[in-house]
Amino acid sequence: MSGADQERESLAEGSLISHLIELRDRLLRALIAVFVVFIPCALYSDELFTLVATPLIEKMPQGTSMIATSIVAPFMAPLKLALLAALFLAMPYVLYQAWAFVAPGLYKHEKRFAVPLVVSSIVLFYTGVAFAYFVVFPLMFAFLTSAAPTGVQVMTDMSNYLDFVLLLFFAFGIAFEIPIATVLLAATGLVKIETMTSNRGYVVLGIFIVAAFLTPPDALSQSFMAVPMYILYEGGIVMARLLLKNRLARQRAEQEANG
């Protein structure tokens, strides 16, 4: 092996090691951020669980309450919620660390496209979670608790309830990312906007099927997920049109400047 080859190999090895060290540092900072946020969440884990359980507690019949079918559930369920809440609250900083790691390898136009994409995806995810808590849960629990047959008391296990609402939080958060997915599909050319608009019927059918799997088996809950998903899909098409229009205008301006 020549001296030049050895030098290139040592440079590549040094670059790889430096990238791994930076990745370790970024991950460590993200974990520290989650841990720092977890401390107050853990201290107020009982109050946090009460806050999350309020939509159901307010709709339960008088004289009933949540129950714990496991000895460790009164301790573990709030602690689990505190950990997930810490991750939820620290997510912007965690994503910033991920962005800071990959940003040096992106071109200028890629950075210009990625920054609003990351910010809007975070905002939309939080909006989906808020929509589930403030809009969907009160209506859904009012319907489900009133649907119990005569002689049946609604006494929900706290661990099962937590798993249920966390699933819906995640489902609505992901569902509100539809505009981002639509813009990415159009921007990368994987799916043309004309195809998205001509296949609306299949999209509506697919949305209602997904909503049926992710929500309780009642039409109200499915509609509260499916209708916003479709509205967001149409919003994503509008944003994709604007993005492609701006891209074409910029390319024409560049061609005129170079010509």
pLDDT surpasses 80 at 8: no
Residues 107, 110, 111, 116, Cα dihedral to 10°: 180
Interval 57-96: pLDDT, tens: 988 888 778 888 889 999 999 999 999 999 999 988 988 8
pLDDT at 59: 87
Report helix, strand or coil for 42.
helix
Arithmetic mean of pLDDT, 95-121: 78
What is this structure's pTM? Answer: 0.82
pLDDT tens for each residue of 157-168:
999 999 999 999
**3-state SS assignment for residue 157:** strand
Residue 127 has pLDDT above 90, yes or no: yes
Predicted pLDDT of residue 74: 92
Q: What average pLDDT does range 182-196 have in this prediction? A: 83
H helix count then E strand count, the chain: 10, 0
Predicted confidence (pLDDT) per residue in 133-156, tens digit: 999 899 888 887 877 677 777 788
Average pLDDT along the chain: 84
Task: Give the tens place of pLDDT for each residue, 199-216.
Answer: 888 989 999 888 888 777
Nearest CA to 114 among 129, 128, 96, 87? 96
- What integer pLDDT is reported at residue 259 of this predicted model? 61
Task: Indicate whether 223 pLDDT > 80.
Answer: yes
d(CA 128, CA 120) in angstroms, rounded, equals 12
Give the mean pLDDT of 6-17.
57
The pLDDT score that the predictor gives to residue 187 is 78
pLDDT > 90 in the chain, percent = 32
- Between these two residues, 208 and 105, which has the higher pLDDT value? 208
Task: Say how far apart CA 238 and CA 221 lie, in whole Å.
Answer: 27
Residue 11 has pLDDT above 50, yes or no: no
Q: Is the pLDDT of residue 5 over 80?
A: no
- Which residues 6+ apart lie within 8 Å of 29 measured at CB? 93, 97
